[in-house]
Chains A and B, each alone.
Chain A
Amino acid sequence: MTEILTSQVVSGLATGCVYALIALGFVLIFKATDVVNFAQGEFVMASGFMSYTLLIGFGIPYGLVLVATIVLSGFMGVVLERIVVRPIMDAPIFSIVIATIGASIVLRSSAGIVYGYDVLPLPTIFSKDPVRIGFVQFTAMDVGVIASSLAIMVVLYLFFRLTKTGTAMRATAQSQTAARLMGVSVSRIFSLTWAISAAIGGVAGVLIAPIIYLDPNLGFIGVKAFAGAILGGFGSIPGAIVGGMLLGVIENLSGYFFNAGIKQVSTYILLILVLVVRPAGLFGAAPVRRV
C-alpha cells in the first residue's frame, strides 16, 4: 500500500512540476502587466512542436535543441506581446485577455495546419524504465522532470534576486509608476516578461511532450496549470509552484481512490473549498482594490 501510494505521489509530483512551470508563466505576466495570458498553454504546445522539428526534421542534438527552443519560445513571447498586447495596453484588461484567447486559437490552428492533428512522440533523454530505491518506485523520467523544473525555478529565483534586470522586473510588478520614475524602461520590462514566460512554457513543453505526446490541442493543459496557480494564490510565485505540485499529487491520489470523473473534478472541488476559506488562494495576499 505505502509502496503504491509513494509511487503515486512521485509521478504526481512529476506532472505537478510541469503544471507549476506553466503556472509560473501565467503568474509572471500577470504580476508585471495585470494580464492573464490565455495563450500560455499554446506556448507550451508551440515550443513542443518547435523542438520536434529541430530534433527530428533537422537532426540537431538534444542539448542544442533545448537551448534553441528556449530562445525561439522567448522570441515568440515577445512577438505576441508586440503584436497582440502592446497596441491595446490602454484598453480594458478584458479586451487584452480576449486578444490572447484569439492568439491561442491562431497558434492552435496553425499547428494543426502545419503538423496535422495526429499525435507525435517527442524523444527524450530520460529513460522511462522503472528504478527502485527502498520502497519507492519511479522512472528516470519522473526524476528528470522534477529536477529540471526545480533547476529552472532556482535559476529564476536567483535572476530575480541578484540581477539588476530582475530587480527592475520586481519593481515594475510592484508599481509601474515608481519603476518608471527610477529610470526603468517599463515597456522593455514588459517584453522581457513575456519572453521569460514563453521560454518557461518552452521548457515545460520539452519536458511534458514526451510524456503526453504532441498535438495541437496540448495547450489545454494550461487550464489545469491556471487552476494550480489560483490554488496557490495568483500573483505569488511560490504559490504557483506549490499549487501546481499539489494539483498533480491530488489528481493522482483521487484517481487512485476514486474514478476518473472524481480525479477530473477533485482539483476544482478543493480549489473552491480553499477559495471559500482563503479568497486569495493559499499564498496570495488579500486582493488589492484598484479603484
Chain B
Amino acid sequence: MKWLLGILGLMVLLAGGPVWAEDGITDKEIVIGAGLDLTGAVANWGVNIKAGMEAMFNRANAAGGVHGRKIRLIAYDHVYQPPKAVTNAKRLVERDKVFVMMGHLGTPTTKAVMDYLQERKVPNIFPATLASIWTTSGKWHVGDLATYADQTGLIVDYLVKERKIRKIASFYQDDEYGLDGHLAGKARLKHQHDLAYVAEVDYKRADIDFSSQAAKLKESGAEAVILQAVYREPPRLAEQCAAIGYKPLFIGPSPIVLAKTIELGGKHVEGLMGVEVYPLPTDSGAFLDQYRADMAKHFPGLPIDTTNLYGYQKAAVFVEALQRAGKNLTRDTVLKAIESIKDWDPGWGMKYTYGGDNRRGMSNAGRFVVVKDGKWAKAGDWVELKEVGRK
C-alpha cells in the first residue's frame, strides 16, 4: 500500500507543482554551485571564500530565504587543476543542476570552464579572480571587483604624478595572476608617462628565498617597487631587501592588503602601500558589524579576514540581486537584476555599480592604504579606476 501512496503523492507533486523552466530553482530553494580549491595551492582562499559565502547565505536563509527560497551552496574541490575544474563544473551543472556558478576560484581553472558554462547558459557570477579577462567576456561572465590591471594603472599614475617617482620596478609572480598587473603597468608607464620599468624581476609561486630578486632590485636603483604578489612574498622580500640596506617604496594591488602581510612582516612592511577594492574587515560600518557577527556565529574557527570577507561581499551583492529579481526568478532576470545595481551601498561606505559597457562593478572601486604602526590605515579616498588593458 505504501508504494501506491508514494506514487500517488509523486503524481500529485508532478501535476500540482509549478514547472520551472530552469535548473536549480524551486519554490523553496535556489541551488548554486562553486568550484573552489579546498586542499591545494590556494586552498586558503578557497576555504575562506566558501565560508564567507555560506555565512551570508545562512543569514539570508535564517530570515526566511529570498522570496521564500532558501539558498543552498554546493562546492567541490578542484585543487587548482583545470581538468578537475571541468569535472566539477559538469557535476554541478549536469547532476546537481545548479542555477548559477558563483565565486569560481582561480584564473586558469575558471578559464577552463568558461566556454562550457556559456554553452549551457549557466551564469558565471563573480568568479574569484580579478584577472582583466572578465571585463570583456560577455553576458554570461560577471566579474565583481576592480581588476589587477586597473589597480596597477592607479598605482602607476599615483607614483608618477603624485610621488614624482620615475624609477619604478616590477616584482611579479611568474604566472597569469602576476603577469596581468605586470603587463598592464608596463603598458600604462609607456603610453601615459613615456617610461619603462627600471627592473622586471619575477618569482615562482612556491619560492621561499628572494635574496637574488632583492639584489637585482637594489642594483636597478628603483625608488618604488610594484608588487604583483600575494601576501606571503612581500614580507620576505622586504626583509631581504632591508638585509642588504635597500628600502624602496613597496606598493601593490589588493592581494597584498591582508592583516597576514603585517603579521608575517612586522616592522619590515612598515610603510608598505596597497590598493584595496573593498574595505578592510576590521573597519567600521553596519555591514562589517554584520559580517563579523555572522562569521563569529557560523565559523568561529576562522579569523576575521580579507579572504572570507571577499566571499561574504560577493554573496551579499548576489542576495541583493536575487531580491531585485523578484519572485519570477530565471537566469536572465538575475543577470538583469545585477545590472540594475547602481550606487548600492550595503552599509560600509563603498558603492557597487554594475552594467554599462563592461560588466565590472563598483565605479568607485579603489583606494590606497598604507601600513602605519603595524596596522593598515587609509591613505586616500575611494576613486574611480580607469580601465587599463594589458597591451
A and B touch in the complex (CB under 8 A): yes
Binding site for B on A (CB under 8 A): 4, 7-8, 11-12, 15, 109, 112, 116-119, 121, 128-130, 137-139, 208, 211-213, 215-217, 220-221, 251-253, 255-256, 259-261, 263-264
Name the residue in A130, A216, A260, A264 with the highest tally of chain B Cβ atoms < 10 Å from its Cβ.
A260
Q: A15 to chain B: closest CB distance in Å?
A: 5
Q: How far is the CA of A138 from the CA of B211 in the complex (A)?
A: 10
Q: How far is the CA of A209 from the CA of B41 in the complex (A)?
A: 17
Q: Are A260 and B174 in contact (CB under 8 A)?
A: yes
Which B204-251 residues have C-beta < 8 A from chain A? 204, 206-209, 211-213, 215-216, 218-219, 231-232, 236, 239-240, 242-245
Q: How far is the CA of A186 from the CA of B47 in the complex (A)?
A: 45
Q: Are B204 and A121 in contact (CB under 8 A)?
A: no
Contacts of B231 in A (CB 8 A): 119
Q: Are B303 and A118 in contact (CB under 8 A)?
A: yes
Q: How far is the CA of A260 from the CA of B232 in the complex (A)?
A: 17
Q: How far is the CA of A208 from the CA of B236 in the complex (A)?
A: 13
Q: Are A121 and B208 in contact (CB under 8 A)?
A: no
Q: Are B39 and A109 in contact (CB under 8 A)?
A: yes
User: With A121-B264, A137-B244, A255-B213 given, can you name 6 additional A-B contacts, CB distance below 8 Å?
Assistant: A4-B219, A220-B206, A252-B209, A259-B174, A259-B201, A260-B213
Which B273-323 residues have C-beta < 8 A from chain A? 301-303, 305, 307
Contacts of B43 in A (CB 8 A): 112, 117, 216
Q: Are A130 and B44 in contact (CB under 8 A)?
A: no
B344 at the interface (CB under 8 A from A): no
Q: Are B212 and A256 in contact (CB under 8 A)?
A: yes
How many interface contacts (CB-CB < 8 Å) are there between A and B? Answer: 103
Contacts of A251 in B (CB 8 A): 209
| Chain A, residue nearest B208 (CB) | A212
Q: How far is the CA of A180 from the CA of B301 in the complex (A)?
A: 52
**Contact among B48, B209, B301, B305 for A15, CB-based, below 8 A:** B209
B76 at the interface (CB under 8 A from A): no
Q: Are A263 and B264 in contact (CB under 8 A)?
A: no
Given A118-B260, A119-B264, A130-B41 contact (CB < 8 Å): no
Contacts of B218 in A (CB 8 A): 4
Q: How far is the CA of A261 from the CA of B209 in the complex (A)?
A: 14
Q: B67 to chain A: closest CB distance in Å?
A: 35
B23 at the interface (CB under 8 A from A): no
Question: Would you give the 0/1 interface string for B43-67, flagging 1 where the beta carbon is closer than 8 Å to chain A?
Answer: 1101110000000000000000000
Q: Are A259 and B202 in contact (CB under 8 A)?
A: yes
Question: Which 10 interchain pairs have the tightest Cβ spacing?
Answer: A255-B212, A117-B43, A256-B212, A212-B208, A117-B44, A11-B211, A130-B243, A260-B202, A260-B203, A4-B215
Q: Are B208 and A211 in contact (CB under 8 A)?
A: yes
B263 at the interface (CB under 8 A from A): yes
Question: Would you give the 0/1 interface string for B18-51, flagging 1 where the beta carbon is closer than 8 Å to chain A?
Answer: 0000000000000000000001010110111000
Q: B185 to chain A: closest CB distance in Å?
A: 17
Which B185-211 residues have C-beta < 8 A from chain A? 201-204, 206-209, 211
Contacts of B307 in A (CB 8 A): 118
Q: Are B243 and A263 in contact (CB under 8 A)?
A: no
Q: How far is the CA of A208 from the CA of B208 in the complex (A)?
A: 10
Q: Are A118 and B44 in contact (CB under 8 A)?
A: yes
| Chain A, residue nearest B207 (CB) | A260
Q: How far is the CA of A199 from the CA of B301 in the complex (A)?
A: 30
Q: A133 to chain B: closest CB distance in Å?
A: 14
Given A109-B39, A213-B232, A252-B212, A261-B243 contact (CB < 8 Å): no
Contacts of B47 in A (CB 8 A): 116-117
Q: A137 to chain B: closest CB distance in Å?
A: 6
Contacts of B211 in A (CB 8 A): 7-8, 11-12, 252, 255
Q: A110 to chain B: closest CB distance in Å?
A: 11
Q: How far is the CA of A22 from the CA of B269 in the complex (A)?
A: 30
Given A118-B260, A260-B207, A130-B212 contact (CB < 8 Å): no
| Chain A, residue nearest B206 (CB) | A220
Contacts of A139 in B (CB 8 A): 243
| Chain B, residue nearest A142 (CB) | B243
Q: How far is the CA of A43 from the CA of B47 in the complex (A)?
A: 24
Q: How far is the CA of A211 from the CA of B202 in the complex (A)?
A: 19
Q: How far is the CA of A200 from the CA of B155 in the complex (A)?
A: 46
Contacts of B260 in A (CB 8 A): 118-119
Q: Are B244 and A264 in contact (CB under 8 A)?
A: no
Q: How far is the CA of A94 from the CA of B98 in the complex (A)?
A: 43
**Contact among A11, A130, A261 for B174, CB-based, below 8 A:** A261
Q: Are A260 and B204 in contact (CB under 8 A)?
A: yes
Q: How far is the CA of A130 from the CA of B243 in the complex (A)?
A: 5
Q: B378 to chain A: closest CB distance in Å?
A: 25
Contacts of A117 in B (CB 8 A): 39, 43-44, 46-47
Given A116-B44, A117-B44, A119-B260, A15-B204 contact (CB < 8 Å): no
Q: How far is the CA of A234 from the CA of B218 in the complex (A)?
A: 38
**Contact among A138, A256, A264 for B215, CB-based, below 8 A:** A256
| Chain B, residue nearest A139 (CB) | B243
Name the residue in B43, B202, B243 with the highest tally of chain A Cβ atoms < 10 Å from its Cβ.
B243
| Chain A, residue nearest B174 (CB) | A260
Q: Are A221 and B208 in contact (CB under 8 A)?
A: yes
**Contact among A116, A130, A208 for B245, CB-based, below 8 A:** A130
Q: A61 to chain B: closest CB distance in Å?
A: 21
Q: A212 to chain B: closest CB distance in Å?
A: 4
Q: B212 to chain A: closest CB distance in Å?
A: 3
Given A112-B43, A261-B204, A11-B240 contact (CB < 8 Å): yes
Q: Are A138 and B41 in contact (CB under 8 A)?
A: no
Q: How far is the CA of A252 from the CA of B212 in the complex (A)?
A: 6
Q: How far is the CA of A220 from the CA of B174 in the complex (A)?
A: 19
Given A7-B244, A117-B44, A128-B243, A253-B212 contact (CB < 8 Å): yes
Q: How far is the CA of A146 from the CA of B244 in the complex (A)?
A: 19
**19 A-B contacts, Cβ less than 8 Å apart?**
A4-B218, A7-B211, A116-B44, A117-B39, A119-B44, A128-B239, A130-B243, A130-B244, A137-B244, A211-B236, A212-B236, A213-B232, A215-B44, A217-B41, A255-B209, A255-B213, A259-B174, A259-B201, A261-B202
Q: A244 to chain B: closest CB distance in Å?
A: 14
